[in-house]
Amino acid sequence: MYKVKLYNNIAQVGLDTFNENYEVKEDLENEDAILVRSANLHDLDYNPNLKCIARAGAGTNNIDIKTCTEKGIVVFNTPGANSNAVKEIVFAGMLLASRDIYGGIAWAKTQESNENLAKDMEKQKKKYAGTELNGKTLGVIGCGAIGVQVANLALRFGMKVRGYDPYMSIEAAWNLSRYVKHDSDVKDLYKNSDFITIHIPLNDKTKDTINKETIALMKDGVKILNFARGGLVNEDDILGALDSGKVSAYVTDFPSPKLVNHPGVIAIPHLGASTAESEENCAVKAAQETMHYLQYGNIKNS
Ligand code: MLT
């Protein structure tokens, strides 16, 4: 019997994926595997029997990969399992940054009579007038499972799309289609995009990818979206750029007290992958990978 220790609530369908050879619960010792969503495992007390950690999600920065590597503990994630959810919320963010739907809703809620509503409506239509996505250029930094989906949906919105990814696989390039302009130099993407969305992992090399210098290369009034990791964008630099009007909107899944009250910021509490479907997909895939690894000693990740 293999022991799998849970560190977060995992969708039931994922737990049901394990067969009778697995004991899966939170309260376990000497576990063979760990199944985790976003709990921080950096100070984990590793038991010598631990063979693998399955991350039900994409980013693995809640896990101390260096120590795991030293101890021979394999870490795997569930790439692609939540990319549809993230793709959809990126477009919600782009639409919110282009049309003041939120302001319009707030105004409508304050109206107490039909007469008033009708009287004020024309004024509000002017006040909350926005711009369209159609015809604008979207720059996608990072063309992995999520970036490719975002790029392809942008094309369907009538956007022009530029993509940058120094590590893009042939498969991803193929999926991106000939309608996406592949920038070999990210500066070209910065210079030519009306919207920039970032889909890369956070590490020492990518920290503060969006900073004073990179923002200076961008179009005036650019809108930036970050549904990847907070540390990819330097907060002081984005606030400065919002104040000066260089950046007209920053949509982020990583709210911080410093940012949230700026009128140009749209911040939500890491909801990018929070859909029932995505949680189930990640849980099932993580469970399947865990069973596969414990049984065969290798990673399938397909
Ligand atoms: C991910 O890395 O999978 C997403 O950011 C979602 C999450 O961590 O819950």
Q: Residues 107-139: pLDDT tens digits?
A: 999 998 888 888 899 999 999 999 999 999 999
Residue found under tokens 């899944």: 253
The average pLDDT across 190-206 equals 97
Taking the C-alpha atoms of residue 232 and residue 239, their distance in angstroms, rounded to an integer, is 14
Report yes or no on 250 lying in a domain.
yes
pLDDT above 70: percentage of residues in the chain: 99
What is the side-by-side order of every strand in the sheet holding 74-76? 22-25, 2-6, 33-36, 52-55, 74-76
In a domain, 42, yes or no: yes
- Same domain, residue pair 19 and 142: no
Q: How far is the CA of 57 from the centre of ligand 1 (A)?
A: 5
* Best residue for ligand 1 mutational test, from 38, 84, 225 (most atoms within 8 Å of Cβ): 38
CA-to-CA distance for 155 and 151, rounded, in angstroms?
6
Cα gap 14→268, rounded to integer Å: 26
Q: Do 113 and 12 have their domain in common?
A: no
Residues 205 and 261 in one domain: yes
pLDDT at res. 300: 82
- CA 53 – ligand 1 centroid, Å: 15
Residue nearest to atom 7 of ligand 1 (CA): 57
Same domain, 137 and 196: yes
Q: Decide if 33 is inside a domain.
A: yes
- Is residue 301 in a domain? no
Amino acid at 154: A
Q: Are 65 and 87 in a shared domain?
A: no
- Ligand 1 centroid from CA 114, angstroms: 44
CA 113 to each of CA 118, 122, 127: distance values in angstroms, whole numbers, following the listed order: 9, 16, 20
Predicted pLDDT of residue 230: 97
- Tell me, using a 6 A CB cutoff, whether residue 283 lines ligand 1: no
Q: Which of 88-97, 115-124, 238-247 has the lowest mean pLDDT?
A: 115-124
User: Which among 10, 55, 76, 82 is the best mutation to test ligand 1's pocket, defined by most ligand atoms within 8 Å of the CB?
Assistant: 82
**Does residue 88 have a pLDDT over 70?**
yes
Asked, for residue 160, whether it belongs to a domain, the answer is yes
Rounded distance from Cα 13 to ligand 1 centre (Å)? 18
CA distances from 173 to 108, 155, 156 (A): 45, 15, 18
**Is 257 found in the same domain as 158?**
yes
Q: Average the pLDDT over 49-69 and give the result.
A: 96
Q: 141: which 2 tokens? A: 């930094």
The token duo for 243 is: 């104040």
**Do 142 and 231 lie in a common domain?**
yes
In the block, tokens 């692609």 appear at: 80
Question: Is residue 227 a part of any domain in this protein?
Answer: yes
Write the DSSP assignment of 46-110 as a string of letters.
--TT--EEEESSS--TTS-HHHHHHHT-EEE--TTTTHHHHHHHHHHHHHHHHS-HHHHHHHHHT
Do 50 and 141 lie in one domain? The reply is: no
Residues 6, 75: one domain? Answer: yes
User: Would the CB of 281 count as within 6 Å of ligand 1?
Assistant: no
Mean pLDDT of all residues in 228-251: 98
Percentage of residues in the chain having pLDDT higher than 90: 90
For residue 179, count other CB atoms closer than 10 A to its CB: 11
Q: What is the 3-state secondary structure (H, E, C) of 252-285?
A: ECCCCHHHHCCCCEEECCCCCCCCHHHHHHHHHH
- Residue 170: per-residue pLDDT: 79
Q: How confident is the model at residue 23 (pLDDT cuts 50, 70, 90)?
A: very high
217 & 201 share domain: yes
Ligand 1 centre from 228 Cα, in Å? Answer: 8
Say how many C-beta atoms besides its own lie within 10 A of residue 166's C-beta.
10
Kindly report the CATH number assigned to the domain that includes residue 59.
Answer: 3.40.50.720
Rounded distance, CA 134 to CA 151, Å?
A: 13
Q: What is the mean pLDDT of residues 214-229?
A: 98
Protein residue with least CA distance to atom 6, ligand 1: 273
Single-letter code of the amino acid located at 80: G
Q: What is the pLDDT of residue 171?
A: 80
- Work out the number of other CB atoms within 10 angstroms of the CB of residue 30: 10
State residue 176's pLDDT score: 81
Q: Residues 62, 41: contact at Cβ < 8 Å?
A: yes
Higher pLDDT, 209 or 179: 209
Q: Are residues 206 and 285 in the same domain?
A: no
Q: Which of 270, 275, 279 to mutate to test the pocket of ligand 1 (most atoms within 8 A of CB)?
A: 270
Mean pLDDT calculated for residue range 43-63: 95
Domain extent at residue 87: 83-267
* The total number of structural domains that make up the chain: 2
Q: Is 273 in the pocket of ligand 1 (CB under 6 A)?
A: yes
pLDDT at 105 (0 to 100): 95
pLDDT, residue 301, reads 64
Evaluate whether residue 201 is within a structural domain: yes
Residue 70 has pLDDT above 80, yes or no: yes
Ligand 1 proximity of 146 Cβ (cutoff 6 Å): no
The answer to whether the CB of 57 is under 6 A from ligand 1 is: yes
How much is the average pLDDT of 83-108? 96
Asked, for residue 302, whether it belongs to a domain, the answer is no
Type of residue numbered 132: E
Answer yes or no: is the C-beta of 58 below 6 A from any ligand 1 atom. Answer: yes
Question: Per-residue pLDDT averaged across 170-174, rounded?
Answer: 80
Which atom of ligand 1 has the smallest separation from the CA of 56? 3
Q: Give the chain's mean pLDDT.
A: 95
Rounded to two decimals, the ipTM of the complex is 0.93
DSSP string, 152-174: HHHHHTT-EEEEE-TT--HHHHH
Shared domain check, 146 and 246: yes
Q: Is the pLDDT of residue 302 over 60?
A: no
- The neighbouring-strand residues paired with 3 are 23
